[in-house]
Chain A
């Protein structure tokens, strides 16, 4: 089986109907961004779209370099100590046939010189490791924000992500689009301000940066700087309740041109297709509008994801299902069947109502 096609299919990236053109253009690149081309055994065992050892962003690279240094140091310590230990238990084992098997060995109670040595040497190792660590802590946490950085406000909900772009007036959910930063002379990071609508969460996209937790009552800050276009995967990393496992994150790094056209589309109010006016009416007469927003309509709920440009997204339910007509119908009929415990109730609508609502929703590009 073709590894990347299988993986791409699993993440809902193949055979989408009605996708905007720029998503199609990304597909070949997405495969590469997911994992190395070709699916060797090594790839299937030791790589992952979420691997912390496949950094593609400056903070992740910094962490990767420091972690390699740490692994070398700790690896050397492990080899030294375990070799000595192995040697000791073999060399000094009691051999029953020996002449003086009954005599106790010489009792050594200590040695000031040896004990001093194995106190001082670890302290020196620690000084080196500590200083290397401090450099990276300050390098990442106090990186000066360049003027051209994009600012995104992240709001963690149970169990989905809200993303707001204050500069552009854009509100979306679960899938974060950012411009790629592939010119080292003109870095284009995205700075994220992390807040919560309810309990603690944590924003973690391993290939882009270390995770930063989200606590109520404070605004945490982190930044990413993806250097290649593509899709980066992550998920919530602080237990937030029953569906913590399905609070997935998708970050799309796009060329500046693609990013601007995505923004332009997101800024528009919702598509008004007269062919699905019935479906829109059913939507607007149900409780959907209490939780969801569709810009330009009377739906302005803030409890659930913004649906204005629902069809610009690849998945629904924060990564639970690929975003297709069939899945939308199944989801609306019974979200609990796919994400048990998620906070969207089954709306108990008739099949006909659901079908009409979904016919409306699939026009919302």
Chain B
């Protein structure tokens, strides 16, 4: 039905001329492209590749931990693997895939032709790939003058002074610092681009208060990235200066400060996890309304809560440092800010619940993943509250409880939304639907594996098992839980294989999708699937937050009923 609506002027229906092209021409096209859609797809493809690498890293770790006193890996190998796993998943998978989707979707959703700075966009992608490759080059790069490892083995947050020369011989810490520093340049470029694009390039009629929530959240995420990445980059520069030019920033034996590394890292690190979760919220904000057949409940509160979370997230960082020996007053302050940030986060969950309430829920694969997200993110947020209670944190910090908590957020929350986003926007990106049956297999297997691993991972944490240990003795009663956790990891791996198979197969053989297979309401569904390189033949004009709803329901358009815009005043 959606395809029959006349969208005058927005879509150019002249068929493209298909000329046969050499494979080399196609490759060249992709390498030199500045088209936000192609760049977005390259981000997604590169991230999926690193996801496989990071996944193999963790499967090896889980084999080692399944039994006490296992000799499957040496301590050096294990420590390198957990360093690479964390670094890869955060910096080379989660950040780029979420910004990659943003790259693809933001200009389409605001009716723009491309990003504000297309060449900066391309540069950002390639510099990310270079930084990631530099860090992985450490596997080949050799041991340095003093022996030690080329591969970083200092943990993904690389606490000083362990990373200093005296305790980390070889160049592992340098690869870590420089690889991420360079990738960070790419993140800043994309963040700048998204900010400029959303502020300056919205189509006619799209005031900020009529932007899709996805775009709002990508804007907020980008501004956060601009503020959060520099402290990390600064700390990495200081570390390299310590290691190679005789500085002593973090060298306590020469009067430097070790704890200041932790402050710098977490001033980046906490906003970073919100930078990861906001795009996931953004996906949920688009998918849940469409498959509940209702507008998002409380749009103005959603915007306010998102902006609020962004600001507050810069005040909570030392809840990662409750055990470093801060004063009671300082600990109290960070408990307060950590609990305060729970309020806008809860508001968002309630708004999603209210969106579903009274709707007509369709259990498509994207919606299944978003429902999983809602349950799991609630749990993750609650274990986060537990971790925010500082004395409880004094037991839970650096234990497997924390590992369970943050994987619950990232995998159970963010990645569930991300999988939903794949199934939801794959038709727009490729013109074909993903297979629903394979999608449901993916969903249920992943739910099974996820819960086997991460529900039960909380227990060894409560039983006193620290993190970042390559083995443990029998007699602590940790072994049975570790075995269950490992089994769940392999179940998740199978689910991911099903997903990748579905992606590839559907690309070639999926059912043709048409412009608007889901009967949705935002501007990207008003153009073809996939969109032409110029997105829209002429600039659209919008009168509400759901322009396609207005076209499909001329008798009750959104602009007569929306809250929180001057439409509300005009309607009265």
A contact set with B: CB distance below 8 Å: 6-7, 10-11, 35, 43-53, 60, 62-63, 66-67, 70-71, 74, 77-78, 81-82, 84-85, 88-89, 92-94, 101, 104-111, 114-115, 118-119, 122-123, 126, 129-130, 133-134, 136-138, 140-142, 158, 194, 198-200, 202, 204, 206, 209-213, 215-218, 220-221, 233-245, 319, 340-341
User: Does A242 contact B76, Cβ atoms closer than 8 Å?
Assistant: yes
Pick the residue among B335, B350, B398, B399 that contacts A118 (CB under 8 A): B350
Contacts of B299 in A (CB 8 A): 109-110
User: Does A199 contact B167, Cβ atoms closer than 8 Å?
Assistant: yes
Nearest CB of B to A61, in Å: 11
Known A115-B298, A216-B258, A239-B155; judge A245-B472 contact (CB<8 A): yes
Q: Complex Cα distance A234/B396, Å?
A: 13
Nearest CB of A to B132, in Å: 23
Nearest CB of A to B254, in Å: 10
Nearest CB of B to A97, in Å: 13
Q: Complex Cα distance A63/B322, Å?
A: 14
Nearest 9 Cβ contacts at the A-B interface: A210-B394, A50-B464, A216-B252, A245-B469, A220-B325, A48-B463, A217-B252, A94-B360, A74-B382
User: Does A213 contact B325, Cβ atoms closer than 8 Å?
Assistant: yes
Pick the residue among A35, A81, A129 that contacts B378 (CB under 8 A): A81
User: Does A44 contact B75, Cβ atoms closer than 8 Å?
Assistant: no
Nearest CB of B to A324, in Å: 17
The stretch of B50-58, B201-209, B384-392 in contact with A is B384-392
Contacts of A319 in B (CB 8 A): 473
Q: Complex Cα distance A10/B343, Å?
A: 47
Known A51-B464, A129-B339; judge A6-B382 contact (CB<8 A): no
Apart from the given pairs A82-B375, A137-B332, A142-B328, 10 other A-B contacts in the complex at a CB distance below 8 Å? A49-B475, A51-B464, A74-B382, A78-B379, A104-B294, A122-B347, A141-B327, A199-B162, A242-B153, A245-B75
Q: Complex Cα distance A60/B357, Å?
A: 43
User: Does A138 contact B328, Cβ atoms closer than 8 Å?
Assistant: yes
A-contact 0/1 string along B252-270, CB 8 Å cutoff: 1101111100000000000
A-contact 0/1 string along B5-21, CB 8 Å cutoff: 00000000000000000
Nearest CB of B to A107, in Å: 5
Closest to B256 in A: A217
Known A11-B475, A109-B295, A110-B563; judge A241-B162 contact (CB<8 A): yes
User: Does B398 contact A134, Cβ atoms closer than 8 Å?
Assistant: no
Contacts of B347 in A (CB 8 A): 115, 118-119, 122
Pick the residue among A7, A81, A88 that contacts B357 (CB under 8 A): A88
User: Does A81 contact B353, Cβ atoms closer than 8 Å?
Assistant: yes
Q: Complex Cα distance A107/B560, Å?
A: 12
Contacts of A94 in B (CB 8 A): 293, 360-362
Q: List 25 A-B contacts (CB under 8 A).
A: A45-B477, A53-B462, A66-B389, A67-B395, A74-B382, A82-B375, A89-B356, A94-B293, A104-B294, A105-B358, A110-B564, A114-B354, A115-B347, A118-B350, A126-B340, A133-B332, A199-B159, A199-B167, A200-B161, A206-B464, A216-B252, A216-B253, A217-B256, A221-B325, A242-B76
Contacts of B469 in A (CB 8 A): 235, 244-245
List residues of B (350-389) whose CB comes within 8 Å of A's CBs.
Answer: 350-351, 353-354, 356-363, 371, 374-375, 378-379, 382-383, 385-386, 389
Pick the residue among A66, A122, A130, A215 that contacts B336 (CB under 8 A): A130
Contacts of B342 in A (CB 8 A): 122, 126
Q: Complex Cα distance A315/B471, Å?
A: 18
User: Does A215 contact B293, Cβ atoms closer than 8 Å?
Assistant: no
B contact set with A: CB distance below 8 Å: 74-76, 79, 153-155, 159, 161-162, 166-167, 252-253, 255-259, 292-295, 297-301, 323-325, 327-328, 331-332, 335-336, 339-340, 342-343, 346-347, 349-351, 353-354, 356-363, 371, 374-375, 378-379, 382-383, 385-386, 389-399, 459, 462-478, 480, 553, 556, 558, 561-564
Known A50-B464, A110-B300, A210-B394; judge A89-B162 contact (CB<8 A): no
Pick the residue among A67, A89, A245 that contacts B386 (CB under 8 A): A67
User: Does A10 contact B474, Cβ atoms closer than 8 Å?
Assistant: yes
Contacts of A141 in B (CB 8 A): 327-328, 331
User: Does A340 contact B162, Cβ atoms closer than 8 Å?
Assistant: no
Q: Complex Cα distance A209/B227, Å?
A: 37
User: Does B562 contact A109, Cβ atoms closer than 8 Å?
Assistant: yes
Closest to A214 in B: B325
Known A126-B343, A244-B468; judge A77-B382 contact (CB<8 A): yes
Q: Complex Cα distance A221/B327, Å?
A: 11
Contacts of A78 in B (CB 8 A): 378-379, 382
Pick the residue among B294, B395, B562 that contacts A210 (CB under 8 A): B395
User: Does B353 contact A88, Cβ atoms closer than 8 Å?
Assistant: yes
User: Does B155 contact A109, Cβ atoms closer than 8 Å?
Assistant: no
Closest to A210 in B: B394
Contacts of A140 in B (CB 8 A): 391
Known A133-B391, A216-B258; judge A52-B462 contact (CB<8 A): yes
Nearest CB of B to A93, in Å: 5
Contacts of A110 in B (CB 8 A): 297-301, 563-564
Known A105-B358, A215-B325; judge A63-B462 contact (CB<8 A): no
Q: Complex Cα distance A237/B397, Å?
A: 8
Q: Complex Cα distance A47/B476, Å?
A: 8
Contacts of B331 in A (CB 8 A): 137, 141
Contacts of A133 in B (CB 8 A): 332, 335, 389-391
Closest to B363 in A: A93
